[in-house]
Amino acid sequence: GQQVMQIPQYQHVQEGEDFTTYCNSSTTLSNIQWYKQRPGGHPVFLIQLVKSGEVKKQKRLTFQFGEAKKNSSLHITATQTTDVGTYFCTIMNRDDKIIFGKGTRLHILP
Amino acid sequence: NAGVTQTPKFRVLKTGQSMTLLCAQDMNHEYMYWYRQDPGMGLRLIHYSVGEGTTAKGEVPDGYNVSRLKKQNFLLGLESAAPSQTSVYFCASSRPRTSAKTYNEQFFGPGTRLTVL
């Protein structure tokens, strides 16, 4: 079935450095969502992207949807310890089922 | 509002035992979902429901059954638990889709950690 590839699987950064995670699909997506899961917690919705080339910002977080609607990225500027967690992208496949990427686990070094 | 609640929070079963996980939401959402999360695997959809009395299979439905007798509740059953079903189970709910191109934000419960020995 349709899958979404998320990279990297893990990322360690020094506090204050930037961080980026990517989601890639082999097929055109109708939209994509991003979630954050803190250690020991549950996923929490961050944003949804629908339009080709769309860019949305939430404070230090910047979300992009590719022009071909096959990829997306989440960029965090000047990471803080509160950014620790796993970031997931989700898509809806051709059977209208929601598919989660495997996530990128962000670890912040103080 | 409590949002999405799940009971129990933890459970240990022996192989072959049965149990039911309960999910409740107070947001009047039409859609509800059950996921399992395993290390390195992200979340995988088990079953979902688009309304009271309706259910559908997700990505990994085998070994599970569900029921949605009331709009606010979604039950996940394991008839004969197996060690492969050791996982963290998350329930979620959302408003219905408003177009073919979008699906709405999901609200997740705190999860149930299940161990099958």
Q: For chain A, positions 31-50, list CB contacts with chain B under 8 A.
A: 31, 33, 35, 41-45, 48, 50
> Total structural domains in chain B?
1
What's the rounded mean pLDDT across residues B12-37? Answer: 97
| Closest Cα in chain A to B48 | A97
| Contact yes or no for A97 and B58 at CB 8 A | yes
| Contact yes or no for A99 and B59 at CB 8 A | yes
| Contact yes or no for A43 and B100 at CB 8 A | no
| Contact yes or no for B108 and A43 at CB 8 A | yes
> Following DSSP, what letter does each residue of B9-37 receive, concatenated?
SEEEE-TT--EEEEEEESS--SEEEEEEE
What's the rounded mean pLDDT across residues B43-68? Answer: 95
Look at residue A96 in the predicted model and tell me its pLDDT. Answer: 76
Domains of chain A: 4-109 (2.60.40.10)
Mean pLDDT, all residues of chain B = 94
Digitized pLDDT (tens) for each residue of chain A, 110 residues in all: 668 999 999 999 999 999 999 999 989 998 999 999 999 999 999 999 999 999 999 999 999 999 999 999 999 999 999 999 999 999 987 777 889 999 999 999 98
| Closest Cα in chain B to A31 | B102
* Phi, psi values for residue B17, rounded to 5°: -75, 160
* A73 within 8 A of A64, measured Cβ to Cβ: yes
Of the residues B43, B55, B57, B91, the best mutation for testing chain A's interface (the one with the most A CB atoms within 10 Å of its CB) is B43
Q: Environment class of residue B66 by beta-carbon count within 10 Å: exposed (0-12), middle (13-18) or buried (19+)?
A: buried
User: Which domain covers residue B84, as residue numbers?
Assistant: 4-116
Closest CA–CA distance from residue B35 to any residue of chain A (Å): 10
Nearest-CB residue to B110 (from A33, A42, A98): A42
Please report, for the domain that includes residue B101, its CATH number. 2.60.40.10
Q: In sequence order, which residues have a C-beta less than 8 Å from that of residue A40 and are 6 or more positions away?
A: none
| Contact yes or no for A100 and B44 at CB 8 A | yes
Closest CA–CA distance from residue B79 to any residue of chain A (Å): 24
Q: Which two tokens stand for residue B36?
A: 């399992």
Q: In sequence order, which residues have a C-beta less than 8 Å from that of residue B26 and are 6 or more positions away?
A: B1, B2, B3, B72
Query: How far apart (Å, rounded) are the C-alpha atoms in residues B82 and B6?
Result: 21
**pLDDT tens figures, B79-96:** 999 999 999 999 999 998
Of the residues A42, A90, A100, A104, the best mutation for testing chain B's interface (the one with the most B CB atoms within 10 Å of its CB) is A42
Q: Which two tokens stand for residue A64?
A: 């992009």
